[in-house]
Every structure is written in structure tokens, then in C-alpha cells.
A and B are shown apart, each in its own frame.
Chain A
């Protein structure tokens, strides 16, 4: 499964100043109370703890102070080909910062080599506005021109910006936020007890297990009973009918929601089980669902079955009289 979200970061005034600089094609550092120029600027001074307010534009050319080679880049790294990560101290700064260095083999990297910023074609106020660093000497050889800081001057980032800079007196608004996409891929490994449960669902059966210590029947079965830590053992096939212990009617739409509201999310205590499972109630208007209502599992067509509780499409009323409160009150 994948869990992903576009996080909206507030940069605050200090990091915002740095990112505004990148967007506009220059690198901004911050001067600490001890006089050192740090890139990116520190939000708060390490000695006085005051917010950083003394900003300094540094060169886009600097010196590699250390580096490491990335022979096999992984997803979302700056390049899909081998490259170096380098600590670069820009001219005018006192401490290095980390970025990618675009060279084709580790033989082309040395500590002490001179590198310059390669600006991204389109800049938005993000650390990736610096596409990477590139060797100064290599460029000079290829292009045959003289090196030097002037070479690193940024190109206009896009036509709109060019137009704006021509009109001169309308600076773009400072950067106050960045969007950071986080995406995590998970492989879920089911325990032996869970496997029993999910394989059962694949055969149209609801399998629980009884805890050998407290005798409670768990669905799904557990590798450790919450009451005593014992793995549940004895297999118990549960009934397809049960009782709604309690529920809510979800009227709220939200990002990532799988079921269109309104819907009834209910705890269903299957006959023979000692713990309720959350499921969906259909086949009855939401406002007619009751605590104690008797319901039965309604399965999806067999050809849609996987290894999930979603094989049961929903629970629907059986039409039996409601269960007495006393029969399920200890499950609330």
C-alpha cells in the first residue's frame, strides 16, 4: 500500500528569505552572532537564540569540502544516473551545505575542487531551484570560455519572470510556503494468525481464534491476546450473523475516503465472537440502524474476492428482533 500526501510547509521568515533568493537566482546566507555566514541561514542563532535577521548574498561558486559517491541512485534522488553528494562551501560562506554534484564518475570529484550552481530551468522557491552543482573546470573545458562567478549568473526563470523583471518595479511576493510530497510504500506482512483469517475470507468463511488463556474468541485472531499476551490458537469458524453493538453515521466527506457518505460505520459482534469488528451497514436507511440490530454478512460476487474483509460488501438486517441490551452491553 502507498501512503502519500502533499504537505504544505510554512517556511517562516528566515527559510522563506533563503527560498525567495533561490527563486530569484541568488543564494542567501545568514550571519550568526559569532560572525559566521551559514547557508541556508539558521532560523535562530545558536548562541543568542535570537531569530536570524542579518542576511548575506553569497556566491554561487564554491569549494567541495567533502563528498560521497552514489553509484545506484534510488527513486526521488536528484539524478537517475550515478552522481555525487557534495558538501560545498560557497564563496562568502563559512560552512558548507549539501547538494548533488553532477559528474559521471568518482574520478572526477576531489575535495577542494571548484564547483558552481546549475540553476533549474524553472524556479519556484524550493531547494531544487538549484538543480545541482557542476564542476567549474569541466564547464570551462567544454565551453572554452573563461571561468568565474559571472558564469553562474542565473538565466531568467521563465517568461513571466522575465516580463516582470523588465517592468522592473514589481518584485514577486516573498516565498512563504513550499509543497512537499511525501509518498511511502509499504509491504504488509500478515502474521500466521491473520493469514488464517484472510485466507478464510478468500473462501467465504469468517475465522476467529480462541485465546487459550482467557478463552475469548478474537476476530481477527491475534499473535498476542491483549489481555494476557498469549497467541490465540484454537480455530473457531464464526457465524455470518451478528449484532450491531454501536455505530455512527458518517456524513463527512474527506480526502482519501473510500465510501461516499452518508454511511453507517458499525461495530458488529458476530455470534460466537468476543470482540466486534467495524463494518458497513446497508440495506436499511441510515437513520433506522439501531444498537442491538441483528445483521448478516452480504458477500461480494465470488470472482471479486481477495484476501480482505472487503470481500464482505456490507452487513444487512436479518429481520430478527433486536438483541437485548444486556446481551451485548459488555462489548461497548
Chain B
């Protein structure tokens, strides 16, 4: 027996903000869950199992938060799983949830991912000095900036490409009422004029630190029949690799390339640039848009920036990317991957509101995490998969 068809029939997210001091972690999760369940026309009583994800425990200082959250998540008397794969966790959590349906284990699975960054300080949590090492670490930006520099050198991309991405995503966010940043009037020039934080990454090319959650209801074929617009899962892939290894490609990681190749094969896609209508890609620093365009195989190596420069990744372009405003506009880390997955599903359901891509039928949701070492991605479509 092969995989069972599975579909997303409920999507919910919080209003993402720097500090959601009005809610606890449980309350934050429930805000997203209750919206997803309402969207699916279900209650917690209809759910068979719950899969929860969030990024490192040091972010909130709560070890195994799933223990104290179990009751609030409606998991009493039901299976509850927690997933963790650093920044990609929102994506891998959704994939674990969908696997439970595709494997025929459960019919209706609720999945939720969250981060309440205001409870601590991610910059601190990601820069804890390691014994015996040189303490030059400076958060995620400090980690990724050298690799962005390598990309610029390798590809020969003009230095304003990152600013094009940032201006596009910040303007897309204006169309998304849930987005954290609503920075009116962001232009390539204003991004280039913003402070250099981790040279070559500028302030406006950097994701914010957000509190937020995202939840999805993933169901089997029979349950999906009563949904007016299910988003069908056409393929899901996860891949990992070592953080550090001799001659490891940090710009175009092997695990990402392998995952993408496997994903397109699973979804029956031979030319992703032509066959994918839009994509939500994990871009916490602007330059990762062209980097992942290449890693995902939309463009040959060294040419991803050309798609960005030509405006083809804007809404209305050949491959709109991050219509929601992306990670650059909202970054509740643990939820950020699931937001990409959920936004892809919203697009193929025709339910993305102001930031809807007209006629979107197949969309990519993508997340990465750690030192570009965990990858999670899915393709969702408006039609039931044929394979």
C-alpha cells in the first residue's frame, strides 16, 4: 500500500509582534490553533493527534515545553509529538504531521509551531560561548554573513540584490495583516541606506525577532472531501547534513540540493521554474533568496540573483517568492517554517487575500535551519496528486 492522499484544510496564525505580552505560550499556540480549527470547521474533539514544533529550548528557557503545553494543546488522551530541527522545525513539524496521515495512522492531525522570542533574546541564545573556542560568534547574522559574502564572490552578483529582496518582501508584508513588520515606503535605496550590521548584511536585510505561532489541520482524503478548497500535499522531503565538514559547501549545501531534487521527483515536476506558481522560501537574510533559488534548482548555480534582479520574484513575476512578506517580515523562529508551508497552502486554496498570486495551483513551502544543515520542503497543489 502506498502513501495515502493528505490535504491541508485548516490554516491559522497569530498576529506576529515583537512582544506578545498579552498571552502565555499556551495562549499564543491556541490563538493559531483556534483559527486553524475554525478554518477547518472542526473542534479539538475532532482531532486524532497533535504534533508540536519549536526551535531551541534556550529561546524560552523551558525544557520540553510540550509537557506543560499538552493540556492547552488539547492533547489529553491523544498522541502528542514534539519535533525539533532548529529553524526548519516549522516545516519538519508539518511534514511529520502529514506523514501520520499519509501513513494511514491518523485521519485528522493538528500541527502547531511557535516561538515566543520576547521571553529571552535569540542573539544571546545563539551566541553562548563554547568552551575553548574563540568567542567571535554573533548570532545567526554573524553566522550567515560570511557565507553571503562567499555567495556574492562566487556568483558575481551586483551588491544591491539583497536590497531588492528586502524591499520586495517588506512591501509584500503590507498586504498581510498578520505580518510583524509593516514598514511603509521601503525601497531598494532605503534598504541600502540602512545600517550595516554584519557586513555584508544590513539592518533592513535582516529578519525581525517575533512572537508568533502557526497551526495547520492535515486530514485524509475522506475528511478532505467536505472541505471547499483543500490544499493537497504533492511531496514532502527532509534532508540533513553536518554543520561543519572539510570542504562542505555552505553557500549551496548538498542536503538542500538533494532534498529539492527528491521533492521535484516526488511531485512529478521536471521544470520547477515553469511548473511551480509561487514559493514561500525561508529567507531570514535577504541574500538567501537568490542562494536558495539556486539550491532549489529554479535557476542554475550562480544565476539565482538574475531572477531577483529582473523582478521575477515579485507578485506578478514568473516565480513570486514570499508573497506573505516572508521571514524578513515575521520571524517567530519555531513557527517560521510552518508559516512558509501554510502560506504555500493558502495560495493554492486561493485564500491568501491581498497577497494572493492569481491562479496559483502548485506552490512550494521551504524551510532551513541550523548552520544551513536541516532542510524541509513540500509542494502543495489545488488538485489531488496523481501519484
**Which residues on A are within 8 Å of B, measured CB to CB?**
1, 3, 5, 7-15, 42-44, 46, 49, 51, 176-177, 180, 182, 186, 188, 190, 194, 198, 214, 216-218, 225-227, 245-252, 254-259, 261, 263, 265-267, 274-275, 277-280, 286, 291, 307-310, 312, 325, 329-332
Complex contacts, B242 vs chain A, CB 8 Å = 226-227
Q: Among the listed B26, B72, B245, B249, which residue makes an inter-chain contact with A275, where contact means beta carbons less than 8 Å apart?
A: B245
Q: Enumerate B107-124 residues with CB–CB distance to A below 8 Å.
A: 116, 118-121, 123-124
Whether the pair A267, B246 counts as a contact (CB closer than 8 A) is no
Whether the pair B21, A248 counts as a contact (CB closer than 8 A) is no
Q: Does B147 contact A (CB under 8 A)?
A: yes
Q: Of B148-156, B173-181, B183-191, B318-326, which binds chain A? A: B148-156
Once A49-B44, A177-B21, A258-B135 are accepted as A-B contacts, the answer to whether A246 and B197 lie under 8 Å apart by CB is no
Whether the pair B131, A42 counts as a contact (CB closer than 8 A) is no
A193 to chain B, nearest CB (A): 13
Complex contacts, B26 vs chain A, CB 8 Å = 12, 43-44
Complex contacts, A9 vs chain B, CB 8 Å = 24, 119
Whether the pair B30, A44 counts as a contact (CB closer than 8 A) is yes
Once A10-B118, A278-B134 are accepted as A-B contacts, the answer to whether A248 and B146 lie under 8 Å apart by CB is yes
Contact with A along B227-260 (1 / 0, CB 8 A): 0000000000000001011111111000000000
Complex contacts, B248 vs chain A, CB 8 Å = 226
A332 to chain B, nearest CB (A): 4
Interface centre among B30, B132, B135, B201 (most CB of A within 10 A): B132
Q: Does B386 contact A (CB under 8 A)?
A: no
Q: Among the listed B20, B121, B135, which residue makes an inter-chain contact with A10, where contact means beta carbons less than 8 Å apart?
A: B20
Once A5-B61, A248-B201, A308-B133 are accepted as A-B contacts, the answer to whether A256 and B128 lie under 8 Å apart by CB is yes
Complex contacts, A330 vs chain B, CB 8 Å = 247
Write the chain B residue with the least CB distance to A176. B21
Complex contacts, A49 vs chain B, CB 8 Å = 43-45, 74
Write the chain A residue with the least CB distance to B77. A46
Complex contacts, B246 vs chain A, CB 8 Å = 214, 216-218, 226-227, 274-275
Whether the pair A182, B134 counts as a contact (CB closer than 8 A) is no
Whether the pair B24, A10 counts as a contact (CB closer than 8 A) is yes
- Bound Cα distance from A186 to B154, whole angstroms: 40
Whether the pair A252, B198 counts as a contact (CB closer than 8 A) is yes
Q: Does B80 contact A (CB under 8 A)?
A: no
Whether the pair B147, A332 counts as a contact (CB closer than 8 A) is yes
B176 to chain A, nearest CB (A): 24
Whether the pair B244, A10 counts as a contact (CB closer than 8 A) is no
Q: Does B351 contact A (CB under 8 A)?
A: no
Complex contacts, B131 vs chain A, CB 8 Å = 1, 186, 188, 308
Give chain B's interface residue range (CB within 8 Å of chain A).
35 or more
A212 to chain B, nearest CB (A): 14
Complex contacts, B145 vs chain A, CB 8 Å = 248
Additional A-B contacts beyond A5-B125, A10-B24, A227-B245 (13; CB < 8 A): A10-B116, A12-B23, A49-B45, A226-B248, A227-B246, A248-B201, A251-B197, A252-B139, A254-B123, A254-B127, A256-B129, A257-B127, A312-B134
Give the A-B contact count at a CB cut-off of 8 A.
192
Write the chain B residue with the least CB distance to A256. B124
10 nearest A-B residue pairs (beta carbon): A12-B24, A248-B145, A226-B242, A249-B199, A226-B245, A258-B135, A332-B150, A216-B246, A274-B246, A265-B136
Whether the pair B132, A307 counts as a contact (CB closer than 8 A) is yes
- Bound Cα distance from A259 to B134, whole angstroms: 10
Complex contacts, B21 vs chain A, CB 8 Å = 10, 176-177
Whether the pair A43, B24 counts as a contact (CB closer than 8 A) is yes
- Bound Cα distance from A69 to B146, whole angstroms: 55
Q: Does B38 contact A (CB under 8 A)?
A: no
Complex contacts, B121 vs chain A, CB 8 Å = 5, 254-255
- Bound Cα distance from A14 to B27, whole angstroms: 10
Q: Among the listed B23, B24, B72, B124, which residue makes an inter-chain contact with A5, where contact means beta carbons less than 8 Å apart?
A: B124
B195 to chain A, nearest CB (A): 7
- Bound Cα distance from A184 to B250, whole angstroms: 32
Q: Among the listed B60, B71, B134, B141, which residue makes an inter-chain contact with A310, where contact means beta carbons less than 8 Å apart?
A: B134
Complex contacts, A186 vs chain B, CB 8 Å = 131
- Bound Cα distance from A261 to B197, whole angstroms: 10
Whether the pair A7, B60 counts as a contact (CB closer than 8 A) is yes
- Bound Cα distance from A316 to B136, whole angstroms: 15
Complex contacts, A12 vs chain B, CB 8 Å = 22-24, 26-27
A313 to chain B, nearest CB (A): 10
Whether the pair A8, B146 counts as a contact (CB closer than 8 A) is no
Whether the pair B124, A254 counts as a contact (CB closer than 8 A) is yes
- Bound Cα distance from A254 to B147, whole angstroms: 21
Q: Does B269 contact A (CB under 8 A)?
A: no
Q: Does B262 contact A (CB under 8 A)?
A: no
Q: Enumerate B3-56 residues with CB–CB distance to A below 8 Å.
A: 19-27, 30, 43-45
Once A251-B197, A280-B134 are accepted as A-B contacts, the answer to whether A246 and B146 lie under 8 Å apart by CB is yes
Once A7-B119, A12-B23, A250-B198 are accepted as A-B contacts, the answer to whether A278 and B137 lie under 8 Å apart by CB is yes
Interface centre among A44, A188, A248, A274 (most CB of B within 10 A): A248
Whether the pair A248, B199 counts as a contact (CB closer than 8 A) is yes
